[in-house]
């Protein structure tokens, strides 16, 4: 194939990123849109860059070194990247390549002024913008200067910031190549950025224009504050005109300079309202062409807009696809389920197929459409009440949308809104046998599933699973199970409300729920203390476990060779038989379970060995039970001393009995779900193994990037689209950079709620009080359970906790999370263990540093960072 070193922008289309880089491909595509004016120019292709790189073999060694450097070792990155840049800039451009560039220059005007702009193959992509990572040079004049600046652009692929960005984005330096755009300069009256969606709220119907005088560099570099215009449906709906004291202008002989703006002009708008509206209209045309919101660089020359760049806005959270033009309001499932990380396609589709309500996917997360329930006043009240008790930020966000008055239509109460959420359930007697019966039903069903699935393979397996999903949903929606869950929660709410009203005591139910029976999640944490008791007397076993790495999956077999190792292995195996179906992010079937990766538990076991005495599990449970019993006696005694006290005490006693009987079961249905999930997963992975043996799949984990239905099709046809799997892997990687909103509208707006409280000290971090008490201690900011390293008295600070985190709860004194509600798993277990806890603390893991002393006010709902 003959290498082509130069392409004219008019020849380029959007599919040529590998040849002309992201910027070059976008500019070529922009040139093709009718009515869009793009300054002319050409692109020096990645073929030219590869040829230059081949001239210096020493660069290869330095790339090897770069790939091994820790992304946080800034000094090493700075040194190596500077060496690579100097080497590239020192390479003479071969004659034939220089001739191709100067020939293209002559066609566009040899002595004209140009912008010489880097265009890497990994920039301006839908999943990563790389904005500002490589260099641009403005007002470059003459062939010699152009060639020199082309070399500088090649070298800028290895600026310290670009190298660090690639390392953190998981992109190999060798896979990225550099093209260079050489484009005629325009000398604008004004310039700036147009976002075709609001970059802050994500609203796709609101465009934002930033504008300043002179070249856009003044805005990009932060030299001046821009004028900001907001445009919705062809009308400027908001604007802020800044005092623009300086601008960047071009120099006659090349280069640029800062200039002061006359004081009379500083507060003039850089654009008129009609110009802003016209610019946004052009932006909408560009957005429609590329099929997604754009970040567009523009210049105004003689009342004519020139577009000098357009790239996707990569920070916007995607919108669920509905196929209609109606307004929709979505609530995040991840915030309810304590798993806000992205899920792989198989995980998403399996949760959708086994859930009780329809769910919509966006950005690797699931959302429930609550529009119709908000539209009917009766169901709206029930929804807001239940959401408010769980997570006030969700309720406040929903109320913000409702208060606008024009987004959610109003439907009559008898309309399709359905019964009020969390409405009154039928009365249920307080009988422990009910809980026993529900647990037995679930265990019998799981045993039948394990037995019957063994003989199913190929397409027959998928038919069997679809039937199993119906049984799954039947158990999940069992009316008796729902009654028990609601009875426990409603009794808790009743106690908190009435005991505050009658006794002036906040969150009294927190103590009354300590060591409640039948709580599978809290039992799981205590059971790991029993495992530690088996291991503690054997120093050889402890030393061996201290050396076990995350990837050493065969360590259980090696244990048996040590003194006490057989007992240790048997204790761990017994624990895994009961709880090995669990893991962090367990609603995603693709996540490795403890049974598949038992090394995850090793740091927690070692913490338990170090921080506890033998018999701690039984002692802790009994202490909690006695504390709850003592609290019950105290509350009833105080109530009887009140006017009408016998009635109040009798009512409270009935509710306390109800809480003690039913609240523990709240955790069981989730355990039942993940137990069934593990059975499904093992069967699907066995099928994947057969596909690997048949040469259909490269590796069995590739099935995680297919939906359930797609996997069924692959099993039937023995054909797979490898490109689709790769695209899904790339998309999944990019979703980690997105922060899922609690509430999302079909306009793309991420609506953030607020606590709206004035009873919190200045500087404190506000959250939701979910487990009473106040505790002070060292904050341990832990984002990965496998990296836990706790000392007695530590306070756990993390993004979210699902049931798999409960083994850590036995060793901490308090809990702070970014996500959570009154009845989410972390809150339930914190109350069960008597840990002061505040959840829903926005950005807690960023605002609290690991090792800082903090005070957690679990009764009032805030966290103080101490000196």
Catalytic residue set: 825
Close Cβ partners of 864 (under 8 Å, ≥ 6 residues apart): 761, 763, 764, 765, 854, 855, 857
CA distance 474 to 487: 20
Q: How many angstroms separate the Cα of 746 from the Cα of each of 159, 197, 321, 371?
A: 39, 13, 9, 10
Residue 864 three-state SS: strand
H/E segment holding residue 471: helix 458-476
* SS3 track for 303-314: CEEEEEEEEECC
Distance of CA 697 to the CA centre of its chain: 28
Cα angle 407-409-410, degrees, rounded to a multiple of 5: 140
DSSP string, 94-157: PHHHHHHHHHHHHHH-TTSEEEEEEEETTSS-SS---TTSS-EEEEEESHHHHHHHHHHHHHGG
CA distance 67 to 78: 13
Q: At what angle do helices 345-354 and 708-717 cross, to 10 degrees?
A: 110
**Rg, the chain, Cα only:** 31
Could you say which DSSP state residue 173 is in? G
Q: How many angstroms separate the Cα of 158 from the Cα of each of 23, 80, 88, 173, 822?
A: 17, 9, 10, 9, 49
Q: What are phi and psi of 780, to 5 degrees?
A: -115, 105
CB 572 within 8 A of CB 601: yes
Q: What are phi and psi of 65, to 5 degrees?
A: -60, -40
Q: How many angstroms separate the Cα of 565 from the Cα of each of 546, 597, 675, 709?
A: 14, 19, 28, 45
CB 122 within 8 A of CB 22: yes
CA distance 863 to 766: 7
What tokens does 763 get? 């500087």
CB 336 within 8 A of CB 821: yes
């Amino acid at each position: 194939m003959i290498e082509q070193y130069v392409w004219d922008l008019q020849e380029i289309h959007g599919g040529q990123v590998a040849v002309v880089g992201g910027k070059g491909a976008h500019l070529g595509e922009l040139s093709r849109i009718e009515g869009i004016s793009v300054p002319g120019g050409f692109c020096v292709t990645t073929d030219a860059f590869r040829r230059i790189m081949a001239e210096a073999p020493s660069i290869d060694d330095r790339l090897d070194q770069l790939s091994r450097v820790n992304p946080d070792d800034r000094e090493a990155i700075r040194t190596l990247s500077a060496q690579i840049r100097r080497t590239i800039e020192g390479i003479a451009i071969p004659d034939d390549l220089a001739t191709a560039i100067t020939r293209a220059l002559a066609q566009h005007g040899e002595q004209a002024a140009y912008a010489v702009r880097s265009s890497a193959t990994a920039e301006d992509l839908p999943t990563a913008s790389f904005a500002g990572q490589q260099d641009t040079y403005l007002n470059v004049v003459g062939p010699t200067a152009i060639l020199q600046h082309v070399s500088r652009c090649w070298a800028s692929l290895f600026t310290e910031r670009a190298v660090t960005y690639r390392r953190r984005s998981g992109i190999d330096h060798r896979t990225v190549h550099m093209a260079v755009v050489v484009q005629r300069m325009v000398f604008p009256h004004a310039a700036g950025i147009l976002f075709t969606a609001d970059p802050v709220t994500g609203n796709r119907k609101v465009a934002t224009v930033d504008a300043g005088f002179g070249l856009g560099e003044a805005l990009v570099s932060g030299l001046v504050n821009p004028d900001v215009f907001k445009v919705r449906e062809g009308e400027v709906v908001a604007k802020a005109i800044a005092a623009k004291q300086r601008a960047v202008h071009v120099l006659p002989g090349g280069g640029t300079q800062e200039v002061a703006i006359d004081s009379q002009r500083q507060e003039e708008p850089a654009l008129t309202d009609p110009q802003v509206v016209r610019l946004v209209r052009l932006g909408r045309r560009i957005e429609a062409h590329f099929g997604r919101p754009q970040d567009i660089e523009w210049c105004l020359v003689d009342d004519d807009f020139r577009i000098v760049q357009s790239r996707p806005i990569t920070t916007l959270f995607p919108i669920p696809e509905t196929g209609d033009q109606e307004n929709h309001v979505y609530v995040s499932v991840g915030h309810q389920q304590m798993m806000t990380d992205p899920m792989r396609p198989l995980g998403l589709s399996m949760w959708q197929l086994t859930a009780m309500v329809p769910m919509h996917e966006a950005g690797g997360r699931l959302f429930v459409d609550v529009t119709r329930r908000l539209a009917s006043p009766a169901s709206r009240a029930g929804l807001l009440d239940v959401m408010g008790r769980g997570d006030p930020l969700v309720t406040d966000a929903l109320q913000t949308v409702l208060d606008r008055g024009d987004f959610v239509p109003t439907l009559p109460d008898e309309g399709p809104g359905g019964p009020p959420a969390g409405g009154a359930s039928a009365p249920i007697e307080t009988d422990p046998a009910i809980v026993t019966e529900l647990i037995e039903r679930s265990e019998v069903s799981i045993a039948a599933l394990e037995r019957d699935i063994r003989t199913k393979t190929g397409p027959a397996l998928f038919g069997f699973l679809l039937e199993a999903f119906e049984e799954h949903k039947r158990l999940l929606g069992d009316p008796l199970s729902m009654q028990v869950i609601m009875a426990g929660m409603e009794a808790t709410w009743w106690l908190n409300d009435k005991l505050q009203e009658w006794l002036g005591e906040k969150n009294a139910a927190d103590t009354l729920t300590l060591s409640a029976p039948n709580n599978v999640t809290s039992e799981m944490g205590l059971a790991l203390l029993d495992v530690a008791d088996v291991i503690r007397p054997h120093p050889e076993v402890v030393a061996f476990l201290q050396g076990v790495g995350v990837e050493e999956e065969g360590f259980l077999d090696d244990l048996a060779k040590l003194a006490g190792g057989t007992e240790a292995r048997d204790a761990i195996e017994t624990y895994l038989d009961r709880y090995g179906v669990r893991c962090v992010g367990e609603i995603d079937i693709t996540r490795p379970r403890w049974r598949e990766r038992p090394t995850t538990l090793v740091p927690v076991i070692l913490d338990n060995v170090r921080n506890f005495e033998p018999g701690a599990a039984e002692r802790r449970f009994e202490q909690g039970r006695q504390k709850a019993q003592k609290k019950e006696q105290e509350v009833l005694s105080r109530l009887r001393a009140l006017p009408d006290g016998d009635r109040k005490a009798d009512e409270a006693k009935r509710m306390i009995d109800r809480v003690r009987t039913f609240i523990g079961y709240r955790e069981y249905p989730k355990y039942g779900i993940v137990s069934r999930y593990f059975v499904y997963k093992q069967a699907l992975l066995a099928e994947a193994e057969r596909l690997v043996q048949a040469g259909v799949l490269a590796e069995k984990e590739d099935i995680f990037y297919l939906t359930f239905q797609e996997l069924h099709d692959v099993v039937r046809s023995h054909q797979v689209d490898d490109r689709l799997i790769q695209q899904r892997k790339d998309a999944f990687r990019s979703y980690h950079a997105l922060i899922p909103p609690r509430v999302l509208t079909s306009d793309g707006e991420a609506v953030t709620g607020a606590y709206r409280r004035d009873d919190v000290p200045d500087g404190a971090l506000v959250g939701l009080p979910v487990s009473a008490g106040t505790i002070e201690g060292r904050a341990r900011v832990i984002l990965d359970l496998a990296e836990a390293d706790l000392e007695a008295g530590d306070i756990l600070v993390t993004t979210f906790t699902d049931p798999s985190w409960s083994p850590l709860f036995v060793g901490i004194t308090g809990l702070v999370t970014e996500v959570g509600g009154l009845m989410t798993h972390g809150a339930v277990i914190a109350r069960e263990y008597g840990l002061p806890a505040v959840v829903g603390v926005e950005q807690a893991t960023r605002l609290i540093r690991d090792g800082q002393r903090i005070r957690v006010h679990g009764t009032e709902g805030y966290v103080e960072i101490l000196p």
